[in-house]
Amino acid sequence: MNIYVSNLGYNFQIEDLVNLFIEYGVISSARIVEDKFTNKSKGFGFVEMPNRLEGEKAILELNGKEIDGRVMSVAEAPPPRERSGYQNRYR
């Protein structure tokens, strides 16, 4: 299960994200999305949990939780969009 986590503090690290979710079960991956030019956090990330029940429990208990003065939003991530390759915007 892929979980979207938003409204994170800009100093939030991957280790912080893992520490939040590890008590709910196994984490197969975690990442915080960064700006490609500044390498600073954009304030959101993703956590992958292989066990759906553990992921659903994490979402239920962490959504709306306040961390460092910010209320997190935690939800199942939508499936990735299929990209159709190069598109000419000027046609």
Structural domain contains residue 7? yes
In a domain, residue 70? The reply is yes
**Are 2 and 74 spatial neighbours (Cβ–Cβ below 8 Å)?**
no
Residue 26 pLDDT greater than 90, yes or no: yes
Contact 4/44 with Cβ under 8 angstroms?
yes
**Number of domains forming the structure of the chain:** 1
Q: What is the residue range of 42's domain?
A: 2-76
Tokens of residue 20, six digits: 């939040």
- Give ∠ CA 30-58-10 in degrees, rounded to 5: 45
pLDDT reading at 84 higher than 70: no
Q: What is the pTM of this model?
A: 0.85
In a domain, 89, yes or no: no
User: 35-76, pLDDT tens digit by residue?
Assistant: 999 989 999 999 999 999 999 999 999 999 999 899 999 999
Instruction: Please indicate, yes or no, if residue 16 is contained in any of the structural domains.
Output: yes
- Which CATH number goes with the domain that contains 39? 3.30.70.330
Q: How confident is the model at residue 19 (pLDDT cuts 50, 70, 90)?
A: very high
Encoded tokens for 72: 């997190």
Q: So what's the pLDDT on residue 79? A: 82
d(CA 88, CA 91): 6
